[in-house]
Structure 1
Amino acid sequence: MSVMNIMEQIIIYGGILLVALGVLGNGMNFFMFSSVRTYRTTPTAFYFTVESIFNIMSITVNLIPRMVSFAFGVDLTQVSVIWCKLREVILSISMAIPIICTCLSTIDQFFVTSPSASLRRLSKKQLAHRIVFVIIVFFVLHSISIYYFYGILPIINVCLSSNWVFAVYYTLFIIVINTAIPILVIATFGYLTYRNIRRTVALAEQHADRQLVKMVLIQVALVVICIAPVGIYNAYSLITYGVVKSPNRQAIEYSTSLLVT
Structure 2
Amino acid sequence: MSTASFTFISSQFSIYVGFSIFTLGIFGNLINLRLLFPLRKNPSSFLLFISSFFNLIALSFGLLPRILSIGFAIDASLTNLIWCKSRLFFSYNGTITSIICICFASIDRFFVSCRSVVWRNRSNLKTAKLVILITIPIIIGINIPYLLFYTIVQTKTDAGNITRKCTTTNSGLILYGNYFVRPVLIGLLPSTILCITGCLIYRNINSIASIQLRGTFQRNLTSMVFIQIITFIIPVMPFATINIYQLLTSSIQKSSYRLAQEMLVSDTTNIILYISYAANFYVYLISSSSYRRDFLQFILFCSNQNRSNNHVHPLPGVQFTLNQMSTIQQFPRVTH
Which residue identity lines up with residue 163 of structure 1 in the other structure? Answer: N
Displacement after TM superposition at 1:99 (Å): 1.3
Specify the alignment match of 1:121 in structure 2: 121
Using structure 2 for the length normalisation, give the TM-score. 0.71
Displacement after TM superposition at 1:133 (Å): 1.6
Specify the alignment match of 2:169 in structure 1: 162
Contact kept, 8 Å, 1:113 with 1:120, in 2: the verdict is yes
Contact kept, 8 Å, 2:62 with 2:88, in 1: the verdict is no
Q: Distance in 2 between matches of 1:41 and 1:167?
A: 41
Displacement after TM superposition at 1:199 (Å): 0.9
Specify the alignment match of 2:201 in structure 1: 193
- Which of 232, 238, 243 is equivalent to 1:234? 243
Displacement after TM superposition at 1:240 (Å): 2.3
Matches for 1:84-233 after TM superposition, within 5 Å: 84-155=84-155, 157-174=164-181, 175-202=183-210, 209-210=217-218, 211-233=220-242
Number of residue-to-residue matches in the alignment: 257
Which residue identity lines up with residue 48 of structure 2 in the other structure? Answer: F
Contact kept, 8 Å, 1:102 with 1:220, in 2: the verdict is no
Q: Cα distance 1:81–1:100, how it changes in 2: closer, same or farther (>3 A)?
A: same
Contact kept, 8 Å, 1:96 with 1:178, in 2: the verdict is yes
Q: Distance in 2 between matches of 1:64 and 1:85?
A: 16
- Structure 1 runs, 4 residues or longer, greater than 4 Å off: 203-206
Q: Which has the higher contact order (CA 8 A, sep 6+)?
A: 2
What fraction of aligned residue pairs are identical, expressed as a percent? 29
Displacement after TM superposition at 1:164 (Å): 2.1
Specify the alignment match of 2:269 in structure 1: 260
Displacement after TM superposition at 1:67 (Å): 2.8
Using structure 1 for the length normalisation, give the TM-score. 0.91
Aligned-residue CA RMSD (Å): 2.0
Displacement after TM superposition at 1:79 (Å): 1.4
Displacement after TM superposition at 1:243 (Å): 3.4
Matches for 1:26-41 after TM superposition, within 5 Å: 26-35=29-38, 39-41=39-41
Q: Distance in 2 between matches of 1:123 and 1:204?
A: 21
Answer yes or no: is 1:9 the counterpart of 2:9. Answer: no
| Structure 2 unaligned residues grouped into runs of 5+ | 156-162, 271-336
Deviation sequence 1:2-28 (CA, Å, 0-9, x none): 111121111112222111111111111
Answer yes or no: is 1:74 the counterpart of 2:81. Answer: no
- Bigger shift: 65-74 or 127-136? 65-74
Q: Distance in 2 between matches of 1:233 and 1:225?
A: 13
Q: Cα distance 1:113–1:31, how it changes in 2: closer, same or farther (>3 A)?
A: same
Q: Cα distance 1:171–1:71, how it changes in 2: closer, same or farther (>3 A)?
A: closer
Q: Distance in 1 between matches of 2:75 and 2:185?
A: 28
Larger radius of gyration: 2
